[in-house]
Amino acid sequence: MGNFVFAGIAPHPPIIIDEVGGGQNQDAEKTIAAMKKWAKEVKDSKPDLIIIITPHGNLFQDAIAIQGSTKLKGDFSSFGVKSNGYEFINHKELQQEIVKKAEENGYSMVEVNENNANKYGLKKDLDHGVLVPLDFILKEGVEVPLVVISMALLDNVELYRFGMLIEEVVHDKDFNVAIIASADLSHRLTKTAPAGYDPAGKDFDLRIGEIVKTENLIEFLDIDEELVEKAGECGLRSLIMLAGALDSYKVTPILFNYEGPFGVGYLVSVLNIEKSGTSSIKEWSAEKNKSIAGTRENESLQVQLARESLTYFLETGNYLSIPDEIPESLKQKKSCFVSLKKNGHLRGCIGTIEPVRTMLAQEIIENSVSAGVRDPRFLPVKRDELDEIVISVDVLSKPEKVKSTDQLDPMNYGIIVKSKGRSGVLLPNLEGVDTVEKQLEITLSKAEISQDEDYIIYRFKVDRFY
């Protein structure tokens, strides 16, 4: 029976590597000292192999990439360092078992090797998300095979469950395994930060630190989506996959250091672990399902119609016919937006700013399908997802042109901006959009209209149904 003998979180700024940073890494001395201490913990755990999850490998929306070559190579040449680089052995047995287990459970896996990397333009070399933590480990004299996994843009719960599958594979083998999440936090901590400044960056990093300290790693799944987006992070998905792998372990974290010397958050932590046999995801899922069930019981007629429409389309490929008996409110000629959320995260949103069909019922029927299968930002919704999806329907008033931004109020009015054939729309009362300036900034960006251009603003109200 195999076990995790080490679990940890490590940042990956190349500047903390002496060959890269030289004398420019003095501002990160605390991170460097913490990483040296962290690497000694890896050494003391005596792992047979290391699994490392990186946010900077090959990234897919619908699949998880895993390094499949026998030899794994990489260097810091893209950061101006000329050296022989690094070479590791891929632990093919465990790597292939992870792929097998994942595919048996419905995950799409991409095994990256020289053949498909050259053919499809994939990255075959190890990235800095892998190399930075491993450099510290190598300097402690630890040279063991690797399994290198990239994060993916799958739903966060799917990433968590993938982590659980990693643990199942490890458990069924006879290896002592170190597992590492490579994760930088917010890239927007200061005005000189690489991704610009946003005060939400500090809030995000504080939340990550709180979760690590309180030992309940499943709370990574509950971090507000708007906060994540504003923070400009690159490590949350790696952390979620690590949390999934430790789902059946009691976790006692030790936070070695946190700082943001270059406007980017660096957290170094060892997670002391002990097999507990209890699953965090079961209780979490039960609470979510209870909440969703309560919402479903009280769904409005508008939302019931949207759900019935999307369900019918996914089962038959056809649009639902308008029911014979519908209330007068659904017979009115009005426009609407249908929004889908899963696990608190947007899963699709499509609508019209002016009515284009004979009645609201038809708008809801067609927009619910479009939100489910035609929103270009997301993969189409699958039938087995529907029970986890919360639907809302926004019915719009007729837009009215505004003469001044003084007439705007992001809590009560949505806006439409138009300029030279381009347009953008943003609904009112959205989380994180609490100023007129922010509302305009987002809407103009969606329309690809510069703030320096001339544009027309319309406002509208909505009746939001859940």
- Three-class SS string for 333-384? CCCEEEEEEECCEEEEEEECCCCCCCCHHHHHHHHHHHHHHCCCCCCCCCHH
pTM, rounded to two decimals: 0.81
Residue 277: pLDDT above 80? Answer: no
Residue 450: half-sphere exposure toward Cβ, Cα within 13 Å: 2
- What pLDDT does residue 225 have? 84
DSSP-assigned beta bridge partners for residue 460: 414
Residue 337: pLDDT above 90? Answer: yes
DSSP-assigned states of every residue in 64-92: EEEE--SEEEE-SGGGT--S--EEEEB-H
Q: In the sheet that 336-342 helps form, which strands lie side by side, from edge to edge?
A: 345-351, 336-342, 389-396, 462-465
DSSP-assigned beta bridge partners for residue 137: none
DSSP-assigned states of every residue in 258-288: EE-TTSS-EEEEEEEEEE----HHHHHHHHH
Which domains are seen in the chain, by residue range?
Answer: 3-278 (3.40.830.10), 299-394 (3.30.700.20), 397-466 (3.30.1490.150)
Residue 364: pLDDT above 80? Answer: yes
Q: Are 91 and 146 in contact (CB under 8 A)?
A: yes
**Block residue for tokens 């987006």:** 229
- What pLDDT does residue 259 have? 96
pLDDT digits (tens, 9 = 90+) for 155-199: 999 999 999 999 999 999 999 999 999 999 999 999 999 889 999
Cα dihedral angle (161, 167, 171, 172), rounded to 10 degrees? 60
pLDDT digits (tens, 9 = 90+) for 39-48: 999 999 999 9
Q: Are 85 and 17 in contact (CB under 8 A)?
A: no
Number of neighbours of residue 36 by Cβ within 10 angstroms: 14
Q: Are 169 and 3 in contact (CB under 8 A)?
A: no
Number of neighbours of residue 120 by Cβ within 10 angstroms: 10
pLDDT digits (tens, 9 = 90+) for 295-307: 788 899 999 999 9
pLDDT band, residue 88 (cuts 50/70/90): very high
Which residues, 6 or more positions from 23, have their beta carbon under 8 angstroms from its beta carbon?
none
Amino acid at 57: G
